[in-house]
Amino acid sequence: MPIYSYKGLDRTGKEVKNTINVESIVAAKQRVKSLGIMLIDIQEQKAQGTSGGPSLLQLRGSVPVEDLAMMTRQLATLIKAKIQIVEALSALVDQVENPNLRLVLSDLKQKVNEGASLAKSLQDHPKIFNSIYVNMVEAGEASGTLEIVLLRLADFTESQVKLKSKIRGAMTYPMIMGIFGFVMMNVIFIFVIPKIAKIFISMKKELPLITEICIWISNFLISYWWAVIAGIVGTAYMVNKYIHTKKGESQWHALQLRLPILGLMIKMINVSRFCSTLGTLMNSGVPILTALTIVKNLIPNVHMKDAVEKARISVSEGASIAAPLIQSGYFPAMVTHMIKLGERSGELEPMLKIISENYEDQVQSKISGLTSVLEPIMMICLGAAIGFIVFAVVIPMMNMNSLR
């Protein structure tokens, strides 16, 4: 069933833009008219990018993860209610609010209706449905437990969204404080200090060292502001280019793991992601070698990724997962010990779930602790910078008063 995008005016004269899923252009116009909207323009959204609407290829990757998680949960509920996949997808097309996701769902429904499996249809949208999603759906279809797999997928996706949101929220305040402090200091040095410096220089008296430093910084920023900007941009570009090389990336990721507070948190986030993803995939019936390959590609740190790859090779040779993880030194002893116990007892999936839940709680606690540590540090740094300027201005003024 095609999707039509339309533009019109409602009863108050306000412009309305939306999409509808109907059988034909005639039915689309009738539906819009029944909504009390005066139609201005209507066109079909083509799946292959032909004339008449946005290309499906252009819309890939523009679906928020929150919308994807909600859609997955709704699809699981419909399938659990014994509704056929095609009918469930058709119902979702009418329910979802995101127009891009609606277009993708319409394309999935068409392919499934033509005989393709859901997992195969999902592979045509890699920017929306990643390898975890596709492999879990494929395992669910093969085992006849698609609704259970989809519910696990929804839980997994929502937990990842919550973690990212928590990290983003923890870093927002320090970033705002840093940007505000940087802008404020530049305004003071460029606009305020020069006016005060004129007064001090006109006295023709020897100035304290702190004041001379402050005036020098002000003069440098005024005369060579372009060099400062070029230096910052150039340094950022060169550093970014270097860390995207193999050697630079290895050194940068090693440095990240050695940082006092952030290093521990990075390890914990990667361990939590490793355990939760591997446990979810194995619980859904994905073969362990395939699951380890997927997990490896989800871990951003190259050193921890290399440890997972060695674990995959170890498993392919009939050996243990835990041994390469222990040798790497990046996975905590408690984690590797519990994985070893899970392998011996044949209860690896439940053990991974316990580890991931434990580490998710620890990560959230560490993020909250990091926020409480960064806030006073930012305040102290900002206060020190302001104190430097205040002393640079106050000391010569005190000398002036003593001379009088």
Give the CATH number, domain containing residue 187.
Answer: 1.20.81.30
Instruction: Note the pTM of the prediction, 2 decimals.
Output: 0.66
Does 168 map to a domain? no
Residues 108, 39 within the same domain: no
Residues 146, 188 within the same domain: no
Structural tokens at position 108? 């999935």
3-state SS assignment for residue 363: helix
The pLDDT tens digits of the residues spanning 3-26 come to 777 788 777 777 777 777 666 777
Residues 313, 239 within the same domain: yes
Q: Is the Cβ–Cβ distance between 103 and 20 less than 8 Å?
A: no
pLDDT of residue 223 exceeding 80:
yes
pLDDT of residue 235 exceeding 90:
yes
Of the residues 158, 189, 209, the one at which a domain ends: 158
List own/partner pairs for 47-53 with CB under 8 A and 24 or more apart: 47/103, 47/106, 47/107, 47/110, 53/3, 53/4, 53/5
Which of the four pLDDT bands, split at 50, 70 and 90, describes residue 45? low
Residues 220, 254 within the same domain: yes
Does 52 map to a domain? no
List own/partner pairs for 21-29 with CB under 8 A and 24 or more apart: 21/90, 21/93, 21/94, 21/102, 21/106, 28/4
The pLDDT tens digits of the residues spanning 237-264 come to 999 999 989 999 999 999 999 988 788 8
Does 106 map to a domain? yes
CA distance 95 to 91: 6
Lowest mean pLDDT among 43-47, 105-109, 196-200, 238-242: 43-47
Does 55 map to a domain? no
Q: Which domain holds residue 147?
A: 60-158
For range 339-351, the mean pLDDT? 88
The pLDDT value recorded for residue 403 is 52
The pLDDT value recorded for residue 366 is 78
Number of domains in the chain: 3
Burial class (CB in 10 A: 0-12, 13-18, 19+), 150: buried
Residues 302, 154 within the same domain: no
The pLDDT value recorded for residue 53 is 41
Residues 101, 224 within the same domain: no
Residues 111, 145 within the same domain: yes
The pLDDT value recorded for residue 47 is 47
pLDDT of residue 231 exceeding 90:
yes
Nearest C-alpha neighbor of 5 from the set 59, 45, 36, 47: 45
